[in-house]
Homo-oligomer: A and B are copies of this chain.
Amino acid sequence: MNFIENIQFVNIIEFLGTFAFAISGVRLASTKNFDLFGAFTIGFVTAIGGGTLRDLFIGVTPFWMLNPVYLWATLLALLFVLLFKTKVVKLKYTFFLFDSIGLGLFVVVGAEKTLSMGFEPWVAVIMGTITGSFGGMLRDVLITEIPLIFRKEIYALACVIGAVFFTVAYVLGLNIVVNEILTASIVIIIRILAVKFHWHLPILKGEKQKQ
């Protein structure tokens, strides 16, 4: 992924995004009274889970095994929650912003990496979505809560729209850096508007089904 290695700015954003994702995992773990190891693991899974699934699916070594920065970002997140517990709550809008920026970047990375491996565009859309949203899903499974993403988050929709935009623009030949910036912005804006205006997808009202 030389597009990432070459752009220092993206590195910083990626670090902040990983940090923000890990913070959300560590905080959730602390509500369950997990120990330090549990909190670290949940934070790490939240931050790298989506990208790990993507890498297993497209057949490459999980990205976090090639660069320890994701480990450091998670350790820092754990330390941060331990030291500044009250501050974390007060800073929730800052973290929401980091989290949204991270989401935008993760979608871009997921779709672009998949396309660069020669998979078809519709696979890139799925992988962009998985990269952005399945870390939180794995986190919820590990703490045995029904994944939030299945019920009321607009997370997934922001990922899908962003991934579709990126992939279509990529196929149409848009300049890659412009495409990256536009896609990330779209994801971030949808995510922020969705939370502000309580957007959500229609809920399926089910029959009371006996298995």
A residues near B (Cβ < 8 Å) are 26-39, 41-42, 52, 56-59, 61-62, 65, 68, 71, 81-82, 85, 89, 119-120, 122-123, 126, 137, 141-152, 156-157, 160, 200-209, 211
Q: Cβ of B147 and Cβ of A142 under 8 Å apart?
A: yes
Task: From known contacts A38-B150, A209-B27, infer whether A33 and B141 are also in contact, taking CB-CB under 8 Å.
Answer: no
A105 to chain B, nearest CB (A): 21
User: Does A207 contact B31, Cβ atoms closer than 8 Å?
Assistant: yes
| A151 touches which of B27, B33, B201 (Cβ 8 Å) | B33
Q: What B residues does A57 contact at CB under 8 A?
A: 52, 56, 61-62, 65
| Interchain CB contact under 8 A, B29 and A150 | yes
Bound Cα distance A207, B208 (Å): 33
Min C-beta distance of A55 to chain B, whole Å: 9
Query: Would you list 19 pairs from A and B whose C-beta atoms are within 8 A, ordered by A residue?
Result: A27-B207, A28-B209, A28-B211, A31-B207, A31-B209, A32-B146, A33-B151, A34-B204, A35-B151, A35-B152, A35-B202, A35-B204, A37-B149, A38-B149, A58-B61, A71-B122, A71-B126, A141-B142, A142-B147
